[in-house]
Structure 1
Amino acid sequence: MRRGWICFTFFATLAAMTRFSIPSSAIAVNRSGSGGPVIVSIPHAGRIYPPEILAAARVGREQLERLEDSWCDLIAGQAADRGATVVQAVWARAVADCNRGEGQMAPGEVALPLRAQFSAPGRKERAGLGVIPTRLADCGSLWRFPIDRHGLNWRLESFHRPYHVALSRELARARARFGHAVLIDLHSMPAIPAGQPGHGARIVVGDRFGRTADDRITAAVVEEVERLGVSVTRNQPYAGGHIVSAHGRPDRSIHAVQIEIDRSLYLHPDRSPDHRAVVRMSEWFGGLIERLAGIAPGEDEVPLAAE
């Protein structure tokens, strides 16, 4: 039997044996002792690669790591101490991209029986950046064979769906206690190329052009970025992905904002953490959480001590 078929058989066997169980190691939830209305989502900083994922890959782990928002979880290092609940992906983005919807795949990237359900791919999906990343520039296809039904379901049931269930649960918990909830979806980005909207910005704040958060929430985030002393844009070139679109419901008092941070603000050129820069960014992010915790959308800001 060829090695590729062994990989696929392993996916199928694993799915059948586990009946799509949810490994607790795929997601980490860190609740603040004091609690607050802010939930921090970190979907792309996971660094664990399950062995079946590495076995199915046609590229090395170092290529799969290019998908990561390298070490951006360090920016949220003070988040729980400042009153936020942190929902973090522990498994790597190569397993499944929690910031894509389940229907976001290009038909050519999946096995023939699945193609009908992925019939309208967008730009990101055509580039191989769907709910399961399948291609990267300069290294071609990431996987030995197209994603089959067993491989797709295993990834969704083990990682993608539990992540969104955890976010929904924590947002509902915060809204029940405080009357509203604020979701910050934290990401990192490469420098925005010249000629692209937002070029020169070091942080991009996205709320789907006002659809996923009250304007006072988004404006407060922008103001805090300006206090950091770096350039910021709103919704250009990143307006927010699936996470803020799926969970941001201002009409239900759940507000969601995506934050993209230029990696040069906290990493060395080799993408290793710059300790001093990480401390600066984590202190800033902690202050942002405290600021957002003092805002009740539709009302005046109140001192944090009044919460």
Structure 2
Amino acid sequence: MPAAIAVNRPAAIGPVVVSIPHAGRLYPPEILAAARVGQADLERLEDSWCDLIAAGAVDAGATVVQGIWARAVADCNRGEGQMAPGEVSMPLRTQFSAPGRKERAGLGVVPTRLADCGPLWKRPIDQEALQWRLDAFHRPYHAGLADALAAARDRFGHAVLIDLHSMPPVPVSQPGHGARIIVGDHFGVTAGGWLVDQIVASVQRLPEPVSRNVPYAGGHIVRTHGRPAQGIHAVQIEIDRSLYLTSDRRPDAVGIARMAQWFSALVAAVSRARPMPETMIQAAE
């Protein structure tokens, strides 16, 4: 079985690390055997083909950590404790006692349900299944990110994590409607304002409508690894799939090329940037 993750490093390491947790398209036999739905339904969990947007990131100087196994195995953008008690076997329920909205919808560290699809698995997730998913995929992914970020910070004095995702169009009734790219820093917690400002400006030059933190403020990955006070800045970028996919969720060559060029230029620009402490920015203003 191929490795669950891939870590691709540039010839000359830079301060930027790109995370692609949800674009994996490999389904281990154990997962397909445990599923009560077909692979086509499991594929609905994917951030389909957004890895193609980052195709030039290594050449632009970034280390890229990518999930090769599919999100159906484990969601690396959820914490190990993020599950609804009703989605796991009885002996596990006490350790998942305070589920949030996404966990209650079946989108915990192990995805368990989808709208119009029902339960994904033949039986509730038990201790053996959970442990295997965490040990084989989730924990190695976060270890790969931590190692890459530490190496970048040790060399440059700072590191930048860009966690890349895709999204369906934001519904009319939802805050953030109209934005086609969303930059999340957990409302200023996971990154310095200089970084978010630079990314937002680059989106505006595309030009595409951009939102900051609404409706996606950043998930477990940026909240875990973003430590601006320790020199590690982390942002989540969500890209509307209509910018690079056809209506049947296949790669659109023109859209992919446009977004890949933008993303490579963004990585290169962020790599050249020198973080300014927030106190210095405020004083300058």
Give the TM-score of the pair, scaled to structure 1. Answer: 0.89
- Secondary structure at 1:170 match in 2: helix
- Secondary structure at 2:223 match in 1: helix
2:167 to 189, 203, 212: 189
Deviation per CA, 1:177-217: give whole Å up to 9, x if none. 00000000000000000110100100000000000000000
Residue 217 of structure 1 pairs with residue 188 of structure 2: no
Match of 1:74 in 2: 52
Q: Which amino acid aligns with 1:239?
A: A
Residue 143 of structure 1 pairs with residue 121 of structure 2: yes
Residue 246 of structure 1 pairs with residue 224 of structure 2: yes
Give the TM-score of the pair, scaled to structure 2. Answer: 0.96
2:107 to 129, 144, 165: 129
Residue 39 of structure 1 pairs with residue 39 of structure 2: no
Residue 54 of structure 1 pairs with residue 32 of structure 2: yes
Q: Which amino acid aligns with 2:190?
A: T
The 1-side partners of 2:226 and 2:206 are apart by: 26
- Secondary structure at 1:25 match in 2: coil
Unmatched 5+ residue regions in structure 2? 278-285
The 2-side partners of 1:24 and 1:254 are apart by: 30
RMSD: 1.1
2:157 to 175, 179, 187: 179
The structure number with the bigger radius of gyration is: 1
Q: Which amino acid aligns with 1:68?
A: E
The CA deviation at 1:255 is 0.1
The CA deviation at 1:24 is 6.2
The CA deviation at 1:298 is 1.2
- Secondary structure at 1:185 match in 2: strand
The CA deviation at 1:294 is 1.4
The 2-side partners of 1:225 and 1:86 are apart by: 21
- Secondary structure at 1:287 match in 2: helix
Match of 2:86 in 1: 108
Match of 2:8 in 1: 30
The 1-side partners of 2:271 and 2:198 are apart by: 11
Match of 1:206 in 2: 184
Q: Which amino acid aligns with 1:47?
A: R
Match of 1:303 in 2: none
The 2-side partners of 1:175 and 1:34 are apart by: 14
Figure out how many residues of one structure are paired with residues of the other and give that number. 278
The 1-side partners of 2:171 and 2:2 are apart by: 39
Deviation per CA, 1:116-148: give whole Å up to 9, x if none. 000000000000000000000001000000000
The CA deviation at 1:297 is 1.1
The 1-side partners of 2:159 and 2:257 are apart by: 26
The 2-side partners of 1:276 and 1:194 are apart by: 27
Match of 1:84 in 2: 62
Q: Which amino acid aligns with 1:104?
A: Q
The 2-side partners of 1:164 and 1:34 are apart by: 22
Unmatched 5+ residue regions in structure 1? 1-22, 300-307
Q: Which amino acid aligns with 1:203?
A: I
